[in-house]
Structure 1
């Protein structure tokens, strides 16, 4: 066999070997992409919108058919949360800052929304026109849920569901230093908690606190901050109000308690209530709080 022929056969064998290696590599990459817990995509936006590539992981993450996404390029927009569609449109039209991630909500096949964090990379043609977007989307629902829980814990009293003392004090600080508004303060204190604890045990005392908290929540609206200030002490901050309204809220609270006690004669709530009002909140909050607290103790003495 001539050397040239041998060389040709050798080169052919090498080419075949390279093809097999490349095929193995491609299969390996495809396997990695399809088994990833993240959704990897290349979405063409010009001349027409369509997926050039979408990893099969979309089926595992969102439950939607891979073929359906290829067949309907707008399917992802149709299944986004209505409040997040504009974010997706900005991503596809080049109107966003691609140096930052995009957090949107996508509907799972079961109807629930998942929080997805997307890291998009814009693709431009030689003329600088946006022709596509590629990136990786990750399900961060558990992370968002944890953040929401932590946020809740920093501002709420876990035992009662009311706002906590730290949040209440922060709102007072804002009214005192930043936002000048007519404010009312109502300070409440349970009169019979110690008696309940001593006579029936702390479980009954805890129930009394929870029942009182539930009654206070009936007064809740966007202008009120209702908080548990201590063991058996509660506070209500009312913004954008009038003295008449503050007094009316105290009357409503007494009425609610009276109705409750009529229906629960063996486990009544005795609540001392004090209120105060100021036309302006700047630099007056401490005084308003002291007056409300003093009026609460006056009511407590009256109840005794």
Structure 2
């Protein structure tokens, strides 16, 4: 186990302190209202807290990077986010980088020669944060993690401010028909006193209207909510800008959610400003929002942790999202396939036509289930069970949901089972079952004349009894190899018994059959000459030819060939030539 040194403890303690300070900065961000303030605090924290020499915050404006804030002066031209640069790569791939040798990095822009290393972090959809240092290999993974924490708080603050600005822009209005709208309209002064309440429905009020008017919010609402009311009333009064926040309130034993917008209005009668708070019941919206969040979490968990490869596609079969299993199965990262046609990457050349047919069916609102072949990034081919489902909403189909299951091992086992069901395990020749199936099939074929050759090893029992069955098996295997090498590709060579073989020769006449048997015997003789055997390999053969005009069946032809084989075997024992 590695010993933890004093330096390690000090570094860890220092990191923990920085993280705590970063957390405090995140809290400070919540009080900021402008982009400028957020930029200033972020830059200050990067310089003073993280000890970065040079920092630069780039925002994307009209597809170009623009420096929004910098710790020193930059003379930097606007660059497109599509250019080859560290910033572009960071922004487009949405991931951080450490560059140990900035001057020799091919994607680095022209920078001052004093800066030798850098780090680059994406700022959500807004841009890129970059820091540089005068030494190579200056930045560590710890620096990157701390900087990413800071930038995550920075991004969240921007999200909030921009969202707040959007709400403010969208809600710059004062309706003259206040009672006709569903919101509660409450007129307040800068001290938070109720001046008037306008609403057609009092169910969302904590008390009757006449009991509320003239009182202060701090005497009506819970302290945490009242404090915010008072804070925003003063801010709106002074700044003449809209402010808003959400809160939860228990009204008559029921939990309700509200959104309140504070707007400044000048009163002609009093020649002074008043605050109009527009309160909207968003309980149903919150409930639906929470349900959607849960559903999204459930979906993400099911999607990412599925044991099957899943891909989401648009109606043009372009990739929108893939899960981890998909990346593992096919070898592609999501960034490599995003917005690209999936068929261009997964379909092997000999499956393009069929694969396009499947795609067309799913695009036409049909479900597809099939077993097929797909290729991986490395070019390998795998057997898959695929399913394609149209994704439909009320307005129609919006995309495609496709699943892939790797069935390569199952297919291998099926092939193996199929092979074993028709092949002799010892010799690899066809077995008796396959041989008999071929006899039945060829009975109705037109491959006349058809010859059947029967072969039986000589004196195998003596070899087994004298030298053991293992030695006898070697003779069987050797005989099988000779028969197979002598036969043509279309011939059916089978082992139909312990030491008995049968060969079907389609379109083979009497003379050709005799020649085939002679070749076997010559090949056996050559084998015996080349091998130092305890006993020469010997086989007795017999054949019969079924002619086109014959009326006998192949089973009878088989029997006659078998009989001739035994006649030849007896002749051999009687030292009669074949």
TM-score by length of 1: 0.86
The residue aligned with 2:570 is: 301
Find the partner of 1:27 among 273, 297, 300.
Answer: 297
Q: Does 1:289 align with 2:558?
A: yes
Q: 1:163·1:225 contact (CA, 8 Å) conserved in 2? A: yes
Find the partner of 2:434 among 167, 182, 206.
Answer: 167
User: CA deviation digits over 1:221-272, x for unaligned, max 9?
Assistant: 4421111000000000111333332222212211211111111132421000
Q: State the alpha-carbon separation in 2 of the partners of residues 219 and 6 from structure 1.
A: 101
Q: Does 1:135 align with 2:381?
A: no
- Say which SS state the counterpart of residue 274 (structure 1) adopts: strand
The residue aligned with 2:382 is: 114
The residue aligned with 1:259 is: 526
Q: Does 1:102 align with 2:370?
A: yes
Q: Structure 1's 71 and 240: CA in aligned 2 closer, same or farther, altered over 3 A?
A: farther
Q: Any unmatched runs of 5+ in structure 1? A: none
Q: State the alpha-carbon separation in 2 of the partners of residues 214 and 223 from structure 1.
A: 16
Q: Structure 1's 19 and 78: CA in aligned 2 closer, same or farther, altered over 3 A?
A: closer
Q: State the alpha-carbon separation in 2 of the partners of residues 100 and 17 from structure 1.
A: 36
TM-score by length of 2: 0.47
Any residues of structure 2 matched to 1:78-227 within 5 Å, and which?
A: 78-94=345-361, 101-122=369-390, 133-176=400-443, 178-182=444-448, 183-227=450-494
Q: State the alpha-carbon separation in 2 of the partners of residues 221 and 136 from structure 1.
A: 44
Q: Structure 1's 93 and 17: CA in aligned 2 closer, same or farther, altered over 3 A?
A: closer
**Relative contact order (alpha carbons < 8 A, sep ≥ 6): 1 or 2 greater?**
1
Paired positions, count: 299
Larger fraction in helix: 1
Q: State the alpha-carbon separation in 2 of the partners of residues 142 and 241 from structure 1.
A: 40
Q: Structure 1's 90 and 293: CA in aligned 2 closer, same or farther, altered over 3 A?
A: same
User: CA deviation digits over 1:1-30, x for unaligned, max 9?
Assistant: 986355984223744465344323312211
Q: Does 1:37 align with 2:307?
A: yes
Q: Structure 1's 122 and 56: CA in aligned 2 closer, same or farther, altered over 3 A?
A: same
Find the partner of 1:230 among 497, 500, 515.
Answer: 497
Structure 1 residue 159: deviation in Å? 1.5
Q: State the alpha-carbon separation in 2 of the partners of residues 271 and 197 from structure 1.
A: 16
Q: State the alpha-carbon separation in 1 of the partners of residues 392 and 508 from structure 2.
A: 56
